[in-house]
Amino acid sequence: MTERNNSHSGPVIELRNLRKRFGDHEVLLDINLSVNRGEVVTIIGSSGSGKSTMLRCINLLETPTSGEILYNGKNIQTEIDSLYRYRARVGMVFQQFNLFNNMTALENCVIGQVKVLKRSRDEARAIAMEYLDKVGMKQFINAKPAQLSGGQKQRVAIARSLSMSPEVMLFDEPTSALDPEMVGEVLSVMKSLAQSGLTMLVVTHEMSFARDVSDRVVFMDKGVIEEDNTPEVIFNHPEKERTREFLARVLGK
């Protein structure tokens, strides 16, 4: 977070009329969303509502069918110099961790810094160590992913993203593939990141995280944003019937 671009005062990420179609299947229908610097936005909704696809469009792992994605006011498909540089500024944490299996935890956090950001190996190592320590994985720097538990892998994956000094972090169901007893360790890391002022977009089924940690909660259903409000409003007196139904189902009320 050292190279932050402060020249732009508007939203960091803005989605305008975003649509995504897979063949005949409309996954996203006209999404409009803006995320301000330092905001923690949680995206909730049932499976197939388009949450993950929306997140994956933001760093162009999926190419939008139409619409615009703005990063600091610039269209990421037409107005930025390098897609690779942009992706380095927008970190992503995946449900399945996606750590590089041929590398140790430390190497996982170093490779991108050296190859993409062109940092020196020493500097990259120092930064990687700092974040691995921050996520409580300092003791495992020389472990290969196959030797780690799910929760440990996810913490390394978070450290890998942080090592790139991102301006925004995208979390795509980061705890959904974890055993229940490991969810807590990952959530507490995310919580401390949220408190540090990092801009975060989090797709999750962890309602407690949405309610307690985020500044805003976005409820998606069938490819549209049904409701976008503070956690207070969403969880206590949602405006839409669909939101109420969804929350009743997941919270078992």
Mark the segment that binds other proteins (CB under 8 A) among 34-42, 79-87, 185-193, 245-253.
79-87
H helix or E strand, kind and range, residue 22: strand 13-22
Q: Evaluate whether 129 touches 138 at the Cβ level (below 8 Å).
A: yes
CB of residue 159 vs other proteins: minimum separation in angstroms?
A: 12
Task: Label residue 92 exposed, middle or buried (CB < 10 Å: 0-12, 13-18, 19+).
Answer: buried
> Rule CB under 8 A: is residue 249 a binding residue for other proteins?
no
* Environment class of 180 (CB within 10 Å of its CB; exposed 0-12, middle 13-18, buried 19+): exposed
Tokens encoding 130: 């700092």
| By the rule CB under 8 A, 153 interacts with other proteins | no
Q: Does 177 bind other proteins (CB under 8 A)?
A: no
Q: In terms of CB distance, is 6 or 101 closer to other proteins?
A: 101
Q: How far is the CB of 115 from other proteins (least distance, A)?
A: 5
State yes or no: residue 66 binds other proteins (CB under 8 A). Answer: no
User: Residue 116 interacts with other proteins (CB under 8 A)?
Assistant: yes
Edge-to-edge order in the sheet of strand 168-172: 90-93, 168-172, 199-203, 40-44, 216-221, 224-229
Which chain residues interact with other proteins by CB under 8 A? 59, 61, 83-88, 91-92, 94, 96-103, 106, 111-112, 115-117, 121-122, 125-126, 129, 138-144, 146-148, 157, 160-161, 164
